[in-house]
């Protein structure tokens, strides 16, 4: 069996930041990702990120990813790509399948799980027709593979993902016919909704998709107004001429590995559902396992990077790599930056939800 001090699972912004911090502290790190390219979500984010300059806001997501990778290169961090983690046993042993053919076990003293999140689906008649897809899938098609999923799009969901992907579909040359939102108010940041609105995309609040029609692919979508009990109001149906329906109905933390390893679960609807319990240092109920990023609650790349740094620093500290005083200063600083990111109208709820998780003692 191979042995490493720290194994980081997932090379998105959280995993990359965790690996960098642990390696900088002196630990020997192995970073694994099932994709053939590292970077996680960052490589399809062609837009400039909001957030603070300390978190590289104003820089395009894809360029943040490139910067993190260059730092990982400079620190000579060992990276395994096309390496899928299929299980964690005995709180230490990471079972990895490399290149879909070779099974490897790596014994790790510390494990940091940063597997991100998966898109939620919405079911309606016709939802299995080709042309119905997750907004994230559409984003991967246009920005990574440079293929337009369709020409006339209905977006379901007005959160930041829905509006940003709508904007990128317009940039790629598609026509976004409408964005529907079941709630009475739009979810995404106003600066993002304003961008697509002035490009002529109409929003329909208190609306949902009723059905998709078509023989072998989507040829039209019916949307309908809903009342305050979320029931369709008869007579308000509208048929839209679209060939693509993108679903942006939120994300759910990708927690299977953590739970199969035995990490204690906790329900946090605001953060996307079941998440592993963790403390402020990002340690789970299993002392050798840490988490960071969307798996610990769906937020943003900026918070994912902070949590990653925190997890990397804490894991290295627990292995004796970081002097007590240095750790205290680093810990406090990371905590402060996270509080700042979770402030204001949009952040306060996440701040409360995170505080509620940490208020419970486990381990």
Partner 1 sequence: MEHTTSDDKGLKVSGAPNLAELHASPCYQLPAEDRRALAAVIECIEGIPCNPCETACPQHAIIVGDEITNLPIVDLDKCNGCGICVAACPGLAIYLKKHTFKENLAYIAFPYEYVPLPVEGQTIRMVDRLGQDVCDGTVLRVVKIKKNDRTAVVHATYPNGYYEQVVNMQRLATD
Ligand X SMILES: Cc1cc2nc3c(=O)[nH]c(=O)nc-3n(C[C@H](O)[C@H](O)[C@H](O)COP(=O)(O)OP(=O)(O)OC[C@H]3O[C@@H](n4cnc5c(N)ncnc54)[C@H](O)[C@@H]3O)c2cc1C
CB of 96 to ligand X, least distance (A): 8
Q: Which of 59, 106, 61, 63 is nearest to 86 (CA)?
A: 106
- In this complex, which beta carbon is closest to partner 1, that of residue 24 or of residue 337? 337
Q: How far apart are CA 15 and CA 11, in angstroms?
A: 5
CB of 163 to partner 1, least distance (A): 8
185 binds, among partner 1, ligand X, ligand SF4, none (CB under 5 to 8 A by kind): partner 1
Sign of CA dihedral 119, 79, 142, 194: positive
Sign of CA dihedral 163, 164, 167, 169: negative
201 binds, among partner 1, ligand X, ligand SF4, none (CB under 5 to 8 A by kind): partner 1
Structure tokens at 354: 């995170």
CB of 300 to ligand SF4, least distance (A): 14
201 binds partner 1 (CB under 8 A): yes
Q: How far apart are CA 80 and CA 167, in angstroms?
A: 34
In the window 28-87, what residues touch ligand SF4 (CB under 6 A)?
Answer: 50
Sole binder of partner 1 in the list 98, 107, 197, 362 (CB under 8 A): 197
Residues 6+ positions from 222 with CB-CB distance below 8 Å: 209, 210, 211, 212, 213, 237, 238, 239, 240
CB of 329 to partner 1, least distance (A): 20
CB 105 within 8 A of CB 2: yes
CB of 75 to ligand X, least distance (A): 18
Q: How far is CA 33 from CA 77, 86, 338, in A?
A: 13, 11, 25
CB of 46 to partner 1, least distance (A): 9
223 binds ligand X (CB under 6 A): no
189 binds partner 1 (CB under 8 A): yes
CB of 63 to ligand SF4, least distance (A): 17
1 binds ligand SF4 (CB under 6 A): no
Which backbone phi and psi does 67 adopt, to 5 degrees?
A: -60, -45
Structure tokens at 113: 């799980």
In the window 237-256, what residues touch ligand SF4 (CB under 6 A)?
Answer: none
CB 94 within 8 A of CB 106: yes
CB 207 within 8 A of CB 224: yes
1 binds, among ligand X, ligand SF4, partner 1, none (CB under 5 to 8 A by kind): none
Sole binder of partner 1 in the list 341, 353, 354, 357 (CB under 8 A): 341
Three-class SS of residue 339?
helix
Binding residues for ligand SF4 (CB under 6 A): 50, 191
Binding residues for partner 1 (CB under 8 A): 47-53, 57-60, 158, 170-171, 173, 177-179, 184-186, 189-205, 238, 240, 340-341, 343-347
């Amino acid at each position: 069996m191979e042995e490493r001090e720290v194994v980081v699972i997932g090379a998105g912004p959280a995993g990359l930041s965790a690996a960098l911090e642990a390696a900088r502290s002196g630990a020997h790190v192995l970073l694994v990702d099932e994709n053939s390219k590292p970077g996680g979500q960052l490589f399809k984010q062609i837009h400039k990120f909001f957030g603070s300059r300390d978190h590289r806001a104003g820089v395009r997501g894809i360029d943040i990813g490139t910067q993190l990778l260059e730092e990982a290169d400079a620190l000579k961090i060992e990276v395994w790509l096309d390496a899928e983690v299929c299980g964690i046993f005995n709180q230490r042993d990471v079972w990895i399948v490399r290149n879909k053919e070779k099974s490897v076990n790596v014994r790790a003293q510390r494990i940091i799980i940063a597997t991100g999140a998966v898109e939620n689906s919405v079911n309606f008649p016709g939802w299995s027709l080709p042309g119905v897809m997750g907004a994230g899938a559409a984003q991967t098609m246009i920005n990574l593979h440079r293929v337009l999923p369709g020409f006339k799009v209905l977006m379901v969901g007005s959160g930041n993902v829905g509006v940003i992907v709508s904007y990128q579909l317009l940039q790629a040359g598609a026509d976004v016919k409408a964005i529907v939102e079941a709630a009475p108010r739009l979810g995404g940041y106003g600066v993002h909704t304003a961008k697509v609105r002035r490009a002529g995309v109409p929003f329909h609040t208190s609306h949902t998709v009723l059905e998709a029609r078509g023989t072998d692919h989507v040829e039209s979508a019916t949307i309908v107004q809903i009342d305050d009990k979320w029931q369709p109001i008869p007579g308000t149906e509208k048929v839209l001429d679209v060939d693509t329906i993108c679903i942006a109905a939120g994300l759910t933390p990708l927690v299977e590995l953590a739970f199969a390893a035995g990490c204690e679960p906790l329900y946090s609807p605001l953060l996307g559902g079941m998440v592993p319990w963790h403390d402020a240092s990002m340690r789970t109920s299993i002392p050798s396992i840490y988490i960071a990023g969307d798996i610990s609650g769906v937020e943003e790349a900026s918070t994912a990077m902070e949590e990653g740094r925190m997890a990397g620093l804490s894991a290295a500290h627990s292995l004796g790599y970081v002097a007590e005083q240095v750790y205290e200063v680093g810990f406090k600083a990371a905590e402060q930056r996270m509080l700042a990111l979770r402030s204001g109208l949009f952040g306060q709820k996440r701040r409360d939800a995170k505080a509620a998780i940490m208020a419970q003692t486990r381990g």
